């Protein structure tokens, strides 16, 4: 019991090093947007992978270290900005949609490529159909529910539906780029390595905490402020982790995530 608690704390700290202290979306810590920090972090986790693989007693921890290495390498590439397509001078919706697509280009191909180089199969990071009927049912129903909520939120503006229709390609680019990127980066590469160490619910809770941590710093206009927003994201992370493991597929979690990302766009669409 205590061993699992200690391992869970260490995994939270490792994830926080990547996603809280290293996250590129805020400027709270000096390590945010810091290419050198992300390079050092990547080197540290790679060294841990090599060490754990050489020592038989520690080999069980190697997949978790690999996941942290993959995540930090993606952070390093994202901080480099080599695939940036957005520009603050663009219209707001186009800017944030291309920003999310840029993040997708930095994170997803590299994370998948490194996972395969580490010897993982596609199912290890949930790029599989799993229980296709269940994951599609959950994903499509939840996406439909979130869509209705977003439409109700926007209906107060008489131009909302016209703007939404004209902006639909950018809306879809934003929600699906972000959903796949975050579900893979925050959860997909971590859940199975963590599950082997701390059990199913331990993996779900740890990844949800790490997912929520940087969102406590996000400055979205959310009722109750950023702390309420962070707690909501924690709950969403618990659901995402649960359904990903239950369905053995990333698909349902991505559709669920894409749906609630619509909430972020409603205030922007109302100003277009």
Query: What domain range includes position 153?
Result: 2-269
pLDDT reported for residue 160: 86
Q: Residues 154-198: pLDDT tens digits?
A: 887 778 888 889 999 999 999 999 999 999 999 999 999 999 999
pLDDT for the residue numbered 88: 86
Q: Give the pLDDT score at 87.
A: 87
Q: What is the model's pLDDT at position 210?
A: 97
> Residue 239: its pLDDT value, please?
97
Cβ contact 48:69 at 8 Å: yes
The total domain count for the chain is 1
Nearest CA among 38, 44, 102 for reference residue 73: 38
pLDDT of residue 220: 61
Tell me the C-alpha distance between 101 and 192, whole Å: 26
Q: Where are the alpha helices (DSSP H) in the chain?
A: 2-19, 35-54, 62-80, 92-117, 132-154, 160-166, 168-182, 191-215, 225-247, 251-269
Residues of the chain with pLDDT under 50: none
Per-residue pLDDT, 2: 81
CA distance to 52, 68, 198, per residue, from 61 (Å): 7, 11, 11
């Amino acid at each position: 019991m205590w061993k699992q608690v200690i391992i869970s704390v260490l995994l939270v700290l490792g994830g926080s090093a990547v996603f809280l202290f290293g996250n590129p979306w805020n400027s709270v810590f000096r390590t945010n947007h810091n290419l050198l920090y992300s390079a050092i972090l990547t080197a540290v986790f790679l060294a841990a992978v090599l060490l754990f693989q050489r020592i038989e007693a520690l080999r069980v921890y190697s997949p978790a270290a690999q996941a942290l290495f993959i995540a930090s390498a993606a952070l390093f590439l994202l901080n480099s900005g080599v695939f940036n397509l957005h520009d603050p001078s663009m219209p707001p919706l186009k800017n944030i949609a291309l920003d999310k697509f840029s993040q997708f280009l930095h994170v997803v191909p590299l994370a998948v490529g490194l996972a395969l180089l580490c010897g993982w199969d596609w199912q290890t990071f949930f790029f599989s159909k799993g229980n296709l009927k269940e994951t599609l049912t959950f994903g499509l129903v939840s996406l439909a529910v979130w869509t209705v909520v977003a439409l109700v939120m926007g209906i107060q503006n008489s131009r909302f539906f016209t703007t939404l229709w004209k902006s639909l390609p950018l809306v879809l680019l934003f929600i699906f780029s972000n959903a796949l990127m975050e579900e893979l980066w925050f959860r997909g590469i971590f859940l199975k390595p963590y599950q082997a160490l701390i059990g199913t619910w331990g993996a779900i809770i740890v990844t949800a905490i790490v997912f929520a941590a940087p969102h406590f710093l996000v400055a979205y206009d959310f009722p109750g402020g950023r702390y309420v927003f962070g707690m909501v994201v924690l709950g969403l992370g618990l659901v995402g982790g649960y359904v990903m493991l239950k369905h053995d597929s990333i698909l349902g979690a991505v559709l669920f995530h894409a749906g609630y990302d619509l909430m972020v766009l409603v205030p922007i669409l109302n100003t277009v």
